[in-house]
């Protein structure tokens, strides 16, 4: 199944009945799939909005009304959604936002890249907030993490970003799709705006003019983010046990790196991989832990060095980091990156 | 003696923070009266603007959800699609509707979203101190058109309601004012009709209300009232701009 | 007759401009907010036989919902 279609199907199985989006390559198959499937689902609504701005605000309205709701776009469109994302966090509203990254900055191109890492993890919008960010590296993870995204969004009342890329969106792989959640089993939302029937009226807003109250609201959000940091970090290691050099990569780059590492291990190169699955919260502890045994790190990303900064933060100076990046949508083969990794490995006299 | 006029039940007891003579206060009251009379308090959801009325949820005793500047029509669309049997309305100023939110306003109308928009037109950006708005008229002085709005440099004002009437998804659009008791009564009837048509599924309904901003017009409230009649209505004529409901002309 | 809540009145004078019997007038006492609320002067004009008819134009015009109207 094609990655973009997997996202749509997993969302529907997670109980998402509301999708608002806009065409932008390389994620057009997501709105197309939703336009096909949602009207068939009970209560399903699909709107192709007039812009990425309008669609994220429709997400806000539908989320305030208590629905499970999703939007998707690529880098430039996610840029347009930044105000909306800041609002979703401030208003404490659940939603899933999917980014199938393309070459940038500006209009860029439609080839896959990973240059939206900063945009995804460093806010991009205004104010102090964080969003949960998933970095899937396969169609199976697109299914699992999109599905899980709705659950986490509801659990924490916060938006979840799925940071894919054009390659993941287009590739076709076998997928085991998650079990459909019946709508009546979805968690109840006692904060939603549904018309004040049988209860006092309520309002949801992020304007807090009194600085003391606004400060407290910020601390409340921070406490939530700290809880998420403690409980929702995910990562994976590959051939880490006896590694002398650790590659750190996410998403499609990690997929390519795995192929390279498999090849290198056959040649006796003792290299491993740490793959963050949540890009926020980032697996800082895991990296620090590994740096007790491993002193050489190789960061490979399809950008000019974004996750690189989180790796350096996590190491706290306890290791040497070599960075290899290819922006603009250039996709390396496992053989090509294997050569770069082994060259670095031997330069550092690790073998 | 019987009390024949008092505060609507669906308005909280909170005194308004609006300036003396501000149209928002009157319009809030009218909406409250309509909600009371049509028994909508338990099924209505409102979306306030960014602007002086950003704190509308402090006054209306109904569910309300904040939207960022200009996006109320999109937020309302989200609400209405999830909860189609509730009454959903936006309350927006001229900047919200016709500057930053123009696309959202036009497309909600074009799609025929079954929502009602209360469009408060006072020709300026009130909350931020009286800057030029899309509905500032030629010659009008504002803080960002200090020499008076000029055709050559600032261009023309926008008649958004006339534009929205062209959209096939809009079903009822009327422009009223709240500067005299007669106009106030017409405004109340228009709001009630818009909500009624929403309940009957007619599509996008809008009431544009010419409203005074005495502070930023630099006139006292009584003069502001007259200015609406003498000047504003020649650029923004009052009356029904569109009515697909089949009602007799100008009927409510 | 009408009752004006002087703590709500902001002295916009719109009620004065619409009262057909001119029974509302400005006054010089300040309320808590610093406004000089208007007053209902029917009692002062009893001799002229000017009475409030409860038309409620003042209440309709008042932005602050400061006026309650009572009719026989």
**8-state DSSP, A263:** H
What pLDDT was estimated at residue C36?
Answer: 97
CA B118/CA B92 separation, integer angstroms: 6
Chains sharing 3 or more CB pairs under 8 A with chain C: B
What pLDDT was estimated at residue B251?
Answer: 59
What pLDDT was estimated at residue B43?
Answer: 97
CB A247 within 8 A of CB A272: yes
CA nearest A67: which of B50, B116, B84, B88? B84
Residue of B45, B55, B60 with shortest CB distance to A193: B45
pLDDT of B164-196, one tens digit each? 999 999 999 999 999 999 999 999 999 999 999
CA A106/CA A329 separation, integer angstroms: 13
pLDDT of A105-140, one tens digit each? 999 999 999 999 999 999 889 999 999 999 999 999
CA A14/CA A146 separation, integer angstroms: 8
Region at B74 (left for phi over 0; alpha for psi -120 to 50; beta for the rest): alpha
Chain B residues inside the 8 Å CB shell of C65: 6-7, 11, 25, 29
What pLDDT was estimated at residue B249?
Answer: 64
**8-state DSSP, C47:** G
Q: Which two tokens stand for residue B235?
A: 């650029």
Domains of chain B: 23-243 (3.40.50.970)
What phi and psi, each to the nearest 5 degrees, are found at residue B172?
A: -150, 120
Low-confidence ranges of chain B (pLDDT < 70): 249-252
Chains sharing 3 or more CB pairs under 8 A with chain A: B
Which residue, chain included where needed, has tokens 């305030």?
A64
What pLDDT was estimated at residue C24?
Answer: 97
What pLDDT was estimated at residue B246?
Answer: 87
CA B98/CA B142 separation, integer angstroms: 17
Report the complex ipTM. Answer: 0.95
What pLDDT was estimated at residue A351?
Answer: 82
Contacts of residue A343, defined as CB under 8 A and 6 or more positions apart, other chains included, come to: none
What phi and psi, each to the nearest 5 degrees, are found at residue A97?
A: -125, 125
Selected residue of C2, C4, C8, C14 to mutate for chain B interface (largest B Cβ count, 10 A): C14
Low-confidence ranges of chain A (pLDDT < 70): none
Contacts of residue A36, defined as CB under 8 A and 6 or more positions apart, other chains included, come to: none
Q: Which two tokens stand for residue A107?
A: 């209009």
CA B186/CA B180 separation, integer angstroms: 10
CB contact under 8 A, B21 and C12: yes
Label residues B46-81 b or e (16+ Cβ within 10 Å = b). Answer: bbbbbbbbbbbbebbbbbbbbbbbbbbbbbbbbbbb
Measured between CA atoms, how close is A65 to chain B, in angstroms?
6
CB contact under 8 A, A207 and B55: yes
Task: For strands A159-165 and A132-134, give the pairing.
Answer: parallel
Contacts of residue A215, defined as CB under 8 A and 6 or more positions apart, other chains included, come to: none
CA A259/CA A336 separation, integer angstroms: 10
**8-state DSSP, A177:** P
CA nearest A103: which of A75, A125, A137? A75
Full-model pTM: 0.95
Residue of A50, A53, A193 with shortest CB distance to B65: A193
**Cβ pairs bridging A and B (under 8 Å):** 126
What pLDDT was estimated at residue B252?
Answer: 64
Q: Along the 72 residues of chain C, how does pLDDT read in single tens digits?
A: 999 999 999 999 999 999 999 999 999 999 999 999 999 999 988 888 889 999 999 999 999 999 999 998
């Amino acid at each position: 199944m094609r990655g973009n279609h997997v996202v749509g199907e997993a969302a529907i199985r997670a109980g998402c009945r509301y999708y608002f989006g806009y065409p932008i390559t390389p994620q057009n198959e997501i709105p197309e799939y939703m336009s096909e499937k949602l009207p068939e689902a009970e209560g399903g609504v699909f709107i192709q909005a007039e812009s990425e701005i309008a669609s994220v605000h429709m997400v806000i309205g539908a989320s305030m009304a208590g629905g499970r709701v999703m939007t998707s776009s690529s880098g430039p469109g996610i840029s347009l959604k930044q105000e909306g994302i800041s609002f979703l966090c401030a208003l404490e509203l659940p939603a899933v936002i999917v980014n199938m990254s393309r070459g940038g900055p500006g209009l860029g191109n439609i080839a896959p890249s990973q240059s939206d890492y900063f945009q995804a993890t460093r806010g991009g919008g205004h104010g102090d907030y964080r969003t949960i960010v998933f970095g899937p590296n396969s169609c199976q993870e697109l299914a699992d993490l999109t599905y899980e995204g709705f659950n986490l969004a509801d659990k924490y009342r916060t938006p979840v970003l799925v940071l894919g890329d054009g390659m993941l969106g287009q590739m076709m792989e076998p997928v085991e799709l998650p079990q459909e959640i019946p709508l009546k089993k979805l968690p109840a939302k006692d904060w939603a705006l549904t018309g004040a029937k049988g209860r006092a009226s309520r309002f949801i807003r992020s304007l807090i003019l009194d600085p003391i109250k606004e400060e407290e609201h910020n601390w409340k959000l921070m406490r939530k983010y700290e809880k998420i940091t403690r409980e929702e970090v995910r990562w994976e290691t590959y051939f880490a046990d006896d590694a002398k050099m650790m590659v750190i990569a996410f998403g499609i780059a990690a997929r390519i790196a795995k192929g390279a590492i498999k090849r290198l291990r056959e040649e006796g190169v003792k290299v491993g991989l740490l793959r963050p699955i949540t890009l926020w919260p980032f697996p800082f502890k895991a990296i620090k832990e590994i740096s007790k045994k491993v002193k050489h790190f190789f960061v490979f990303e399809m950008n000019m060095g974004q996750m690189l900064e989180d790796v350096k933060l996590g190491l706290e100076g306890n290791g040497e980091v070599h960075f290899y990046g290819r922006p603009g949508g250039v996709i390396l083969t496992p053989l090509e990156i294997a050569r770069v990794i082994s060259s670095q490995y031997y330069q550092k006299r690790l073998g | 003696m019987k009390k024949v006029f008092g505060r609507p039940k669906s308005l909280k007891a909170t005194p308004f923070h609006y300036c003396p003579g501000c149209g928002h206060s009157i319009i809030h009251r009218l909406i409250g009266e309509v909600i009371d009379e049509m028994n909508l308090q338990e099924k209505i959801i409102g979306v306030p603007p960014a602007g002086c009325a950003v704190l509308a949820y402090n006054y209306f005793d109904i569910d309300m959800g904040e939207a960022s500047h200009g996006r109320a029509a999109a937020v309302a669309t989200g609400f209405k699609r999830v909860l189609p049997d509730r009454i959903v309305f936006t309350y927006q100023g001229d900047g919200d509707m016709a500057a930053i939110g123009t696309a959202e306003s036009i497309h909600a109308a074009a799609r025929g979203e079954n929502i009602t928009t209360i469009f408060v037109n006072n020709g300026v950006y009130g909350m931020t101190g009286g800057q030029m708005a899309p509905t500032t008229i030629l010659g009008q002085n504002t803080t960002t058109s200090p020499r008076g709005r000029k055709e050559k440099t600032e261009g023309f004002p926008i008649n958004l309601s006339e534009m929205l009437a062209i959209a096939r998804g809009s079903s009822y659009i009327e422009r009223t004012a709240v500067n005299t008791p007669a106009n106030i009564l017409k405004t109340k009837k228009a709001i009630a009709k818009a909500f009624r048509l929403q309940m009957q599924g007619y599509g996008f309904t809008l009431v544009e209300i010419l409203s005074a901003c005495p502070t930023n017009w630099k006139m006292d409230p009584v003069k502001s009232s007259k200015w609406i009649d003498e000047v504003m209505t020649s650029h923004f004529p009052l009356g029904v701009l569109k009515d697909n409901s089949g009602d007799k002309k100008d009927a409510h | 007759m009408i009752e004006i809540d002087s703590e709500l009145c902001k002295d916009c004078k719109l009620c004065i401009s619409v009262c057909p019997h001119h029974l509302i007038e400005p006054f010089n006492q300040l309320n808590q907010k610093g406004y000089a609320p208007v007053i209902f002067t029917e009692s002062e004009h009893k001799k002229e036989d000017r009475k409030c008819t409860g038309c409620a134009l003042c209440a309709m015009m008042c932005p602050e919902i400061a006026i309650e109207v009572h009719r026989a």
